[in-house]
Chain A
Amino acid sequence: MIHLHDLTVKRFREGLENKEFSAYEIVKALFDYIGLRDKEIDAYLTLNRDDALERAAKIDVAIAEGRDLPPLAGVPLAIKDNMLIEGLPATAGSKILEHYISAYDATVIKKLKAAGAIFLGKTNLDEFAMGSSTENSAFKVTKNPHDLTRVPGGSSGGSAAAVASHMAVAALGSDTGGSIREPAAFCGVVGLKPTYGAVSRYGLIAMASSLDQIGPFTKTVEDAAVIFKQIAGYDPNDATSAPDITYGDNLLNPSLEGIRELTIGVPEEYFVPGMDEEVANAVQSAVKEFESLKVRVKKISLPHTKHALSVYYIIMPAEVSTNLSRFDGIRYGDRAKAENLLDLYYRDRGLGFGSEPKRRIILGTFVLSAGYYDAYYAKAQKVRALIKKDFDEAFKEVDVILTPVAPTPAFKIGEKTDDPLQMYLSDICTITVNLAGLPGISIPVNGREGKLPIGFQLIGKPWHEADILGLGMFYERLGGKR
């Protein structure tokens, strides 16, 4: 049978069609491997073994009967534990939801089920997706498969580590300020954050609603395109979902002539002082490889970049403080013994939330409060408009923007846990993309076998995922990936 290391979404499909292996054999092998390897990685919070094996067996019966297979038939996926799968826990990495069982399927899950996918389990994350290292989980610390003393990145660290260590063929994560792209870069896999409004968030536990977006982790850019095409699309249950956008087959079949018509811009502001030299060099090597593909590259400027972190750490906590007000122990979750309703709120929220959600809820409450609203929240919204305008201007000259994903490779476990501001700086290259609602993809720099992975980011115009995926697919072919 095929080695799990070689298994991609595309290769899985070929293997099923050519009867090299059955879906059941692969899913069984994955659970056997998870049983060994996840003891040291700690990527999964819940396993969905019986249901996954049952679904795999049904796919094999459909193959034996010669029926048409749906596009993701039998593909074994890992899902970040802030998305709802009916009947399974959805903890969001928080004690406050430790015993919560999902009452319905998120729209992305419904779509993936319809496409034939199989869910191996739910993966670890920073509590309520707040963090850059997955160390803020209330349950465990996930390790980086490339070096067990280092973090996998976050907040979708469990999903990134599961794919990187071949404990899943692909996975879903969510990205509010870099929570898909940064862990993808740290773990050496591909991570796509789609355009705001491209993928429904119905059934995603909300963090910051003007920034959140769901996207895939995969071993190849080609696989990212395949999964993205299945989860994208209008959903009346998400009021921010775009009603009139459709993605065609150009997502999957880019041409070299097509990508040569694109111009890549490289913004000087993203090569920040204090950036790791190895990261800067690795990203420049990716630029050179695009030049060798005869794609035009030019220098650009995004002058308001330096304000993005401040804007993000006002707008995001403001939205967090409102979104997390629903966690009050009333309708679900664990309920403390309390004298009266007010006392119940204080206790449930005081005991249920960890440090990072508390810190952000209090900060958000402050920036939205009377007397401070204009100086902080309203000001941040205006600077956010300027950041978006920078991109609008740049996209008159170039089609795609190339930057680093994070200022350093994966850092050591415990290195930044005592200094929130240092931790927040890990997101400095990714948050602008969420603030402006753009698509961004993190792709591993070629030729780093045996070293810590480094990622580069391609940022596209809204709804132009095909551009960044197309460039990415040709880049990975240069690196020898199919």
Chain B
Amino acid sequence: MEFDVEYFARLARIKLTDAEKRKFEKELKDILGYVEELKEVDTKDVAPMTGGTNLRSVFREDALDVKREDNGRGRSRFPEEKDGFLKVPKVFE
């Protein structure tokens, strides 16, 4: 099959070098060729397994947990900040 590695790398927001494009295109084609074998498996009437187990959903109150000691600590890891706010490059030209 054709596999446009550059297109999917762009969707994933990853810049590739030309050497990487060539290398990944070949390797990913090999992997996709290998997984083709799944087409042989009869999965008619099989419900997909969508998670790690059949655990039930756990709910909590939709309330702010202000007591959590970790709140706000991530701020110290900001690469750039101004007045306690996270600074990012401009979004629009």
Contacts and interface: CB of A to CB of B under 8 A. Distances in A.
Interface string B13-43: 1111000100110011011101101110101
Contacts of A462: 53
A98 to B, nearest CB: 13
Interface residues of A, number: 72
Contacts of B23: 355
A362 B9 contact: yes
B5 A362 contact: yes
A383 B53 contact: no
A382 B51 CA distance: 11
Contacts of A197: 52-53, 55
Contacts of B91: 340-341
Nearest to A342: B13
Interface string A286-328: 0000000000000000001001011101100000010001001
B84 interface: no
Contact of A310 (B12, B37, B70, B78): B37
Interface stretch (A127-135, A275-283, A330-338, A449-457): A330-338
B12 A365 contact: yes
Contact of B13 (A346, A366, A382, A385): A346
B66 interface: no
B14 A346 contact: yes
Interface string A357-389: 011011111100100000010111111111010
Contact of A345 (B13, B28, B55, B76): B13
A313 B31 contact: yes
A70 interface: no
A309 to B, nearest CB: 8
Contacts of A314: 35, 38
Given A242-B55, A307-B38, A331 B27 contact: no
A284 interface: no
Interface string B44-77: 0011111111010010100000000010011011
A368 to B, nearest CB: 9
B16 A338 contact: no
A362 B28 contact: yes
A104 B73 contact: yes
Nearest to B55: A197
B70 A384 contact: no
B78 A331 contact: yes
Contacts of A307: 37-38, 41
Contact of B14 (A242, A361, A376, A385): A361
A349 interface: yes
B38 A103 contact: no
A362 B8 contact: yes
B82 interface: no
A17 to B, nearest CB: 33
B93 A340 contact: yes
Contacts of A345: 13
Contacts of A358: 9, 14, 16, 20, 24
A51 to B, nearest CB: 18
Given A197-B53, A242-B55, A380-B38, A349 B48 contact: no
A239 to B, nearest CB: 6
B12 A381 contact: no
Given A331-B74, A358-B24, A239 B34 contact: no
A255 to B, nearest CB: 29
Nearest to A338: B89
Contacts of A355: 20, 23
A166 to B, nearest CB: 34
A33 interface: no
Given A314-B35, A385-B46, A421 B30 contact: yes
Contacts of B30: 420-421
A57 interface: no
Given A378-B48, A381-B50, A385-B46, 10 more contacts: A321-B12, A331-B86, A332-B74, A340-B89, A340-B91, A361-B12, A381-B49, A382-B48, A421-B31, A437-B52
Interface of B: 3, 5, 8-9, 11-16, 20, 23-24, 27-28, 30-32, 34-35, 37-39, 41, 43, 46-53, 55, 58, 60, 70, 73-74, 76-80, 86, 88-93
- The 9 A-B pairs with the shortest beta carbon distances in the complex, nearest first, are A350-B15, A381-B48, A382-B43, A332-B77, A385-B49, A310-B35, A346-B15, A196-B52, A345-B13
Interface of A: 100-101, 103-104, 195-197, 209-211, 236, 239-240, 242-243, 304, 307, 309-311, 313-314, 321, 325, 328-335, 338-347, 349-351, 353, 355, 358-359, 361-366, 369, 376, 378-386, 388, 420-421, 424, 437, 462
